[in-house]
């Protein structure tokens, strides 16, 4: 991953803008100069991962800060709600979020769910840690296991919707108060119970989000009433072999959200050999609504769980993280995307001024990551 592992940092438990400086590895002078600008934009938090606690509601979330972002712009953000028995650290690794957030220059927010018989989540790094990790903090941070299926498991179950909606409201207030995040350019995803909560947000907090992207949402019996909800982009994925029967719910919710977004056309198309979608277009404000099936189980398409439990799948499965970021890029202003508009004519002229072309030395952390992507296992 492009970010520094949390275990290698100082303890990062922060309240309302207070923070402990990150112990960063050596960076070039240019990156150190950039850190100050990013820190100003992120409420004083340096590049990396931070646990932010909101004492007024006794909840916490993981805040991901990129090393750089588009200049002179309010910055978009992504939120993701983890599955039952999991944690934000699990989602971070499952989705490869640091790489994508670094590449786009956007902020990430991953809220913690709450245990079944509790109403708070303020346990710092060990909140929602799997019992099998014991006292091994690195095991928690690396998400080597999921939690037991008991009352202590953390998540976003339907009976906690009101609490979690208040939590989302508080996060938006924090973003507006403490950071330069563009609160009109936020999108969110979720897995399993977290995916169901993303569907709840599409109905009950549509004014806060540009796009909601649930994945593997269980077929809960409750029905939705989205009266008064605003148009929104909605992209849902469900595995055809998902034991939670998410397909039963997905089809009718696709119709519901297409109606909410006043879409006028519908088509069925295959995205790849293993993925097919129903897509509604002609929607208000150029939104798009998609309900997709992939030939998989209760997992995230194109991704592998950090606890090693994912079944290996064909490469034709869509990379969920990459695809959702690409779709959200259609909802932001071009200048809010890092490196948009490059190379400029001047940069191209400078590059070709001598032969062989001059090598770039900026953003080494991105250049090296891109160079190694797809080759990481060759030395094993």
Encode pLDDT of 261-320 as tens digits.
999 999 999 999 999 999 999 999 999 999 999 999 999 999 999 999 999 999 999 999
Sequence ranges of the domains in the chain: 8-336
Which uninterrupted H or E stretch holds 137? helix 137-142
Neighbours of 372 (CB within 10 A): 10
Residues 293, 275: Cα–Cα separation, whole Å: 6
Cβ contacts of 187 within 8 Å, gap of 6 or more: 76, 78, 79, 209, 210, 211, 212, 213, 233, 324, 328, 331
- Per-position b or e across 37-75, b if 16+ CB within 10 A of its CB: ebbebbbebbbbbbbbbbeebebbbbbbbbbbbbeebbb
Token pair listed for 286: 């150029």
Token pair listed for 361: 């030395």
SS3 235: strand
pLDDT at 222: 66
Superfamily of the domain at 8-336: Alpha/Beta hydrolase fold, catalytic domain (3.40.50.1820)
Of the candidate ranges 52-61, 129-138, 149-158, 227-236, the one whose mean pLDDT is the lowest:
149-158
Do residues 236 and 250 make contact, with C-beta atoms less than 8 angstroms apart?
yes
Question: pLDDT tens digit string along 324-370?
Answer: 999 999 999 999 999 999 999 998 888 888 898 888 889 988 988 77
Burial class (CB in 10 A: 0-12, 13-18, 19+), 255: middle
For residue 250, the 8-state DSSP code is H
pLDDT at 219: 81
């Amino acid at each position: 991953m492009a970010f520094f592992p949390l275990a290698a940092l100082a303890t990062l438990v922060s309240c309302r803008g207070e923070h402990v400086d990150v112990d960063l590895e050596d960076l070039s002078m240019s990156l150190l100069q950039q850190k100050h600008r990013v820190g100003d934009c992120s409420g004083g938090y340096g590049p990396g991962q931070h646990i932010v606690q909101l004492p007024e509601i006794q909840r916490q979330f993981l805040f991901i800060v990129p090393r750089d972002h588009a200049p002179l712009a309010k910055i978009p953000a992504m939120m993701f709600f983890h599955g039952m028995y999991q944690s934000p650290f699990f989602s971070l690794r499952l989705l490869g979020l640091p790489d994508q957030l670094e590449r786009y220059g956007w902020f990430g927010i991953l809220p913690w769910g709450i245990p079944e018989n509790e109403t708070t989540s303020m346990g710092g790094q060990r909140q929602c840690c799997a019992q099998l990790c014991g006292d091994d903090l690195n095991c928690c941070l690396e998400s080597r296991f999921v939690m037991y299926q008991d009352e202590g498991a953390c998540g976003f179950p339907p009976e906690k919707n009101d609490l979690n909606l208040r939590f989302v409201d508080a996060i938006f207030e924090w973003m507006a108060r403490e950071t330069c995040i563009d609160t009109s350019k936020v999108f969110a995803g979720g897995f399993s119970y977290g995916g169901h909560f993303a569907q709840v947000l599409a109905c009950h907090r549509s004014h806060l989000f540009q796009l909601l992207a649930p994945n593997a949402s269980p077929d809960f019996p409750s029905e939705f009433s989205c009266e008064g909800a605003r148009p929104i982009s909605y992209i849902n994925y469900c595995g055809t072999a998902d034991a939670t029967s998410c397909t039963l719910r997905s089809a009718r919710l696709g119709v519901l959200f297409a109606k909410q977004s006043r879409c006028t056309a519908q088509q069925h198309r295959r995205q790849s050999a293993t993925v097919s979608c129903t897509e509604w277009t002609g929607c208000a404000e150029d939104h798009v609504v998609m309900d997709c099936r992939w030939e998989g189980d209760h997992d995230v398409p194109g991704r592998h769980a950090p606890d090693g439990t994912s079944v290996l799948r064909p490469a034709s499965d869509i990379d969920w993280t990459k695809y959702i970021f690409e779709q959200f890029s259609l909802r932001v202003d071009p200048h809010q995307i890092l490196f948009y508009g490059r190379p400029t004519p001047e940069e191209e002229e400078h590059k070709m001024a001598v032969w062989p072309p001059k090598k770039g030395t900026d953003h080494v952390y991105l250049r090296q990551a891109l160079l190694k992507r797809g080759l990481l296992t060759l030395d094993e």
